[in-house]
Every structure is written in C-alpha cells, then in structure tokens.
Amino acid sequence: MPAPTDPGVSREGDALRVRGDVTGERVPALWRSARPQCAGVRRIDITGVTRVDSAGLALLSALADAAGSAGIEVVGSPPGLSDLRAAYRLDAALGFGT
C-alpha cells in the first residue's frame, strides 16, 4: 500500500480521490490512472493533494470535465489552488465560469 503522500488516484463510490503532489512530472501517470475511473463520478476529493501546479490544475480540470463537470463537487483546497483557479478563471467545479 503506498504511503499517503505518494501521488495516486482511487475510486470510492461516486468519488474520485486524488492524493499527493499533482505536478507536471506526475500528471501523465495520474491521467492514465484516473481517466478510466471518471464515469459516474459526482465528487472529486482533493483533500489529500499536498501540492498542485498549473499542469496539475489542468489535470484536475480535465478530470472534472471527463466526469461531466456540471454538478461535480470538488472537495478540498490544496495550497495554491485558489490562486491558480483565479489566474485561469476556473469556477469551484474547476470548469470555465460563465
């Protein structure tokens, strides 16, 4: 079992849980792991994310979109997320605001 700080994605019911550093060098592996798990996701839990950069934000936004971002709840706010969301004009569900 990986340590809690190791990056990874798991599915629990209707939640997709993302943990660890969600940064550029980890995005390709996280995407390969997460993409097949998106169907039926209603919540993306990022309370276990320890760090996120712009590539990580793009991944999280793509996951929300793949899950059908309308009605998706994003739970958690890792350090720097709110600044990145503001810079890229993303709403609380990590989609483009209208």
- State how far the Cα of 15 lies from the Cα of 53, in Å rounded to an integer: 22
Q: What is the DSSP string of 17-67?
A: EEEEEE-TTTHHHHHHHHGGG-TT--EEEEEEEEEE-HHHHHHHHHHHHHT
Class of domain 8-87: alpha beta
Q: What is the pLDDT of residues 48-85, one digit of tens each?
A: 999 999 999 999 999 998 887 567 899 999 999 999 99
Q: Any idea where the domains of the chain sit in the sequence?
A: 8-87
Cβ(30)–Cβ(61) under 8 Å? Answer: no
Q: What is the pLDDT of residues 9-29, one digit of tens each?
A: 999 999 999 999 999 999 999
What pTM value is reported for the model?
0.88
